[in-house]
Amino acid sequence: MDKKANIIVLVLLIGIAITFFYKFVIFGLIPFPGDLLIAEYNPWKAYSYLGYNPGSYPNKAQYFDVIRQLYPWKTAVLSSIKSGEFPLWNPYSFSGSPLFANFQSAVLYPLQIVFLFFSQKLAWGILVFLQPLLASIFMYFYARKLSISRLGSVLASVSYAYSQYMIVWLEYNTIGHILAWFPLALLSVEHMVSKKTIMWMGIFVFSLVSIFFAGHIQLALYSCAFIAGYIWLRGNYGIYFLFLFVLGIASIQLIPGFELVYGSARSNHEYSFITQKILIQPQQWIMLLIPDFFGNPATRNYFLSDTYIGKVTSIGLIPLLFVGLFLLSKKNTIQKFFLVSAIVIAILISLNPITMMLYSFSIPLISSSSPTLLVFIFSFCLSILAGFGFDEWIRISRNRILVIVVSFLVLFGLLWVTSDLASHKAILLQALILVTGATLIVSGNLYKKYSFYIACLLLGILLLDLFRAFHKFNPFIPQSLVYPTAPVITFLQNQKDHSRVWGYHAGAMEANFATQVNLLSTDGYDPLYARRYGEFLGASKDGVLLHKFSTTTRSDAVISQEKSLPENPFRLKILDVLGVKYILDAKQNRSSQIDFPPYRFQRVYEDDYWNIYKNLQSLPYAFLTADYGVFTSGKEFETKFFDRNAPIDRVLLEEELGSKLANDPVAVIKTVQLDFNRISLITSAKTNQLLFISNSFSSGWQAIIDNEISPILRANYAFQALEVPSGKHSIKLTYRPWSFVVGAYVSILSLLCFILYLGIQRRKSI
């Protein structure tokens, strides 16, 4: 009977997921913010799609990072794998940057296997679909293991899997996967408390490794911390030993990732930004009851100055009523653990005297990110408590139920009286749910023989409420709107000359779009980009290296847009040296020959919205030179590099060369081949030369000249150079960082040790 009932519940949960994703499952629409892409971002907003005027496509204005980061990185990963290379390096953004190490590329996440069987667009949609489905299934079985009733477990699973937190992060396609595996890890702990079986040890390790590979290191660490506390509660301390295998197997991601963090531009938020913008303000706890009390950004009426997705705490009003019932009941140890956990997390994510003191200190990974990401554990705890409260519903006294109902009604009345008209619609809708839900809860307690049917009605109301919020926030678009063709992009793609592209003023194209369309760019957007590269690009504003990163520059490295082209010689020097050959100019700039003087720029493309100019003074991606200087400090570099009298191909190094260079007017690079992890060149010169490559410097690069290893020098502050002997030479540079190699060995060894450990445990149990 129990097995049959579980099958019925599984069918129900799958049916709920299909219902929520009916636009994807039935109509083939993709859960992807393509609506935002073609409405507001260059160059797509300049063109007409699906019969809409340029830039007029209706959009929810959500998931900026999906189109600017996560999907382009997925494209780069798949392209690299298809070309036969492991996706270690991204040559397109930041003049080259680590790809695998940035965590969010999620290269090794197990469910990425769907990309091997389906198109990228369809596989993306499947992964989005799997997040709440898996979360609901694993949460259901975990709740059942805690002895919550079947219907109570369904309530807990639905309120967690389709919580407001899951809804607003859904199309990131990373965070939701952590939420999915989290209850499975706890379920495996529960099973190992009674008996440490081979299967559940394997599931525990697999679920936690999947969490580390899913694409968000901060949430992975939060998950491990909570699970470690849960293990302590359950008293089976031997489970802690399995964490060693988890960390060991995940080392292939963790070691390169933390190396990247160490050298990145990502800095701590300013204290005032954390307290005023990131932490949940006291009045914003109203969103626990009424998610859209302050509006919703998807309907463009969120009227606070912070971010909506950082403040969502709701799991639905019906589950909160059951949480209220739980609070008035007797509590066992596990129930107290979840209650205390919810309270502690509520304190950590909100503005109060404790957090005002706590976040005044610089806390690694917390002060540099958002503490409110902890909301997912808060939602998890509330959902479990709602399940326990559901089971108390029939047993609890009628007077206690009335206390909860009246308390909620009074609170809503006060909110109605004290709020302005902008919030009344949101209050009214939730008040309707409250009154209906409260009436059913009281009726179920009075007429116990009808409680099953009333419980089903309550679950239905919850699903309708969550369904409305789900589709209000999340866009579903035709596959044709996932980075559709744009003529100006097609022209640039056809050049195939390893030249970089840059957009001028209104013609600027968002960083990382270059990765999606396979164009080389100086700009980039990534929380973990190289600090030194950001300092260099910061000099495009005024010729001074950037030494302090702001809220913007800690994630974005872009060439300055200040002043016109001729008025900023520092920017011109950087554009030339980094091989920016093509400049996109939107016609709304109203540029003239003053901006693009003919002696320096040549127009090579024009359509109704765009001009493309060729920078006639740009240097190639790699070039040979005998003119170099040495610098030892940032200030010295600024003085030498931006010297107006210095030749453009003069290269600055941080160390003296071991041999003498000589001028050679016929020194040439005959071929250049650029792959994801490799750069291949053939050079010819009569004298020793310096080879400069405008590829961002990283210690993970190795150079071989005619089968002999050659040292790579740091040139022009943040790039690569090699000393090349006279004659004809074949040069290969390969990106193979020590951190990846060490991490891979540790992971393989840890996996083998874990398999051996399971084998030993199996023999002991026989």
pLDDT in tens, 131-178: 999 999 999 999 999 999 999 999 999 999 999 999 999 999 999 999
Closest CA to 328 of 398, 411, 431, 430: 398
Instruction: Strand 678-685: give its sheet, edge to edge.
Output: 668-674, 678-685, 727-735, 701-705, 708-710
Compute the distance between CA of residue 451 and CA of residue 493 in angstroms, rounded to an integer: 64
Task: Note whether residue 203 is domain-resident.
Answer: no
Could you tell me the two tokens for 162? 């389709």
Pair 615, 641 in one domain:
no
Asked if residue 731 lies in contact with residue 691, where contact means CB atoms within 8 angstroms, the answer is yes
Q: Closest Cα partner for 522 from 565, 531, 512, 532?
A: 512
Cis, bond preceding 566 (omega within 30 deg of 0): no
Domain that holds residue 447: 267-474
Residue 462 and residue 440 share a domain? yes
pLDDT at 711 over 80: yes
**Residues 470 and 372 grouped into a single domain:** yes
Most confident of 289-298, 395-404, 437-446: 289-298
3-class secondary-structure state, position 685:
strand
Place of tokens 């205390």: 340
Looking up tokens 């116990």 gives: 448
d(CA 400, CA 403): 5
Strands 689-696 and 622-625: antiparallel
Cβ within 8 Å of residue 741, ≥6 positions away:
none
Question: Do 465 and 356 fall within a single domain?
Answer: yes
Rounded CA-CA distance 513/498 in Å is 16
- 3 state SS of 369: coil
**Together in a domain, 53 and 97:** yes
Single out the residue in 603, 619, 635 at which a domain terminates: 619
Mean pLDDT, residues 578-594: 94
Q: How far apart are CA 112 and CA 130, in angstroms?
A: 11
Residue pair 714/670 in contact by the 8 Å Cβ criterion: no
Encode 291-350 in three state secondary structure: CCCCCCHHHCCCCCCCCHHHCCCCCCHHHHHHHHHHHCCCCCHHHHHHHHHHHHHHHHCE
- Helix/strand/coil (H/E/C) assignment for every residue in 640-675: HHCCCCCCCCCEEECCCCCCCCCCCCCCEEEEEEEC
Whether 230 maps to a domain, the answer reads no
Say how far apart CA 391 and CA 152 lie, in whole Å.
6
Which is it for strands 701-705 and 689-696: parallel, antiparallel or unpaired?
unpaired
State whether 320 and 418 are in the same domain.
Answer: yes
Tokens 């990765």 sit at which residue?
515
From the CB of residue 522, how many other CB atoms can be counted at a distance below 10 Å? 26
Rounded to 10 deg, the angle between the 217-234 and 375-393 helix axes is 40
Asked if 420 and 380 touch (Cβ cutoff 8 Å), the reply is: no
What pLDDT, on a 0 to 100 scale, did the predictor assign at position 366?
65
d(CA 338, CA 378): 9
Same domain for 552 and 603, yes or no, is yes
Select from 442, 474, 506 the last residue of a domain: 474
pTM above 0.85, yes or no: yes
SS3 433: helix
Q: Average pLDDT of 223-237?
A: 93
Q: Are residues 553 and 591 part of one domain?
A: yes
CA distances from 88 to 100, 550, 748 (A): 5, 28, 18
Predicted confidence (pLDDT) per residue in 106-122, tens digit? 999 999 999 999 999 99
Count CB-CB contacts under 10 A for residue 351: 18
Are 311 and 384 in a shared domain?
yes
Residue 365: the pLDDT is 60
pLDDT-based confidence at residue 464 (cuts at 50, 70, 90): very high
Q: Does residue 660 lie within any of the structural domains?
A: yes
d(CA 44, CA 485): 8
- The answer, yes or no, to whether residue 721 has pLDDT greater than 90, is yes
Same domain for 588 and 518: yes
Domain presence at residue 674: yes
For residue 589, count other CB atoms closer than 10 A to its CB. Answer: 15
Reported as a single tens digit per residue, the pLDDT across 550-581 is 777 788 899 999 888 989 999 999 999 999 99
Q: Is 158 within the bounds of a domain? A: no
Euclidean distance between the first and the last CA atom of the chain, given in angstroms as a whole number: 30
Helix (H, G, I), strand (E, B) or coil at 132: helix
Distance, CA of 713 to CA of 692 (rounded, Å): 9
Select from 110, 41, 40, 119 the least CA-distant residue to 78.
119
Q: Does residue 410 sit in the same domain as residue 271?
A: yes
Residue position matching structure tokens 């790039």: 719
Q: Which of 619, 644, 675 is the last residue of a domain?
A: 619
Q: C-alpha distances in angstroms, 116 versus 124, 215, 453, 527?
A: 12, 19, 44, 28
Of all residues in the chain, the percent with pLDDT exceeding 70 is: 99
Reduced to 3 states, what is the DSSP secondary structure of residue 729?
A: strand
pLDDT confidence of 421, banded at 50, 70, 90? Answer: confident
What's the CATH code of the domain at 667?
2.60.40
Alpha carbon of 151 to those of 393, 457, 652: distances in Å?
Answer: 12, 12, 70
Inside any domain, residue 154:
no
644-658: burial string, b at 16+ Cβ within 10 Å, e else: eeeeebbbbbbeeee
Asked if residue 587 and residue 708 are part of one domain, the reply reads: no
Q: How confident is the model at residue 691 (pLDDT cuts 50, 70, 90)?
A: very high
Number of compact structural domains in the chain? 3
Average pLDDT over residues 627-633: 90
Residue 109 counted as domain residue: no
pLDDT band (50, 70, 90) for residue 1: low
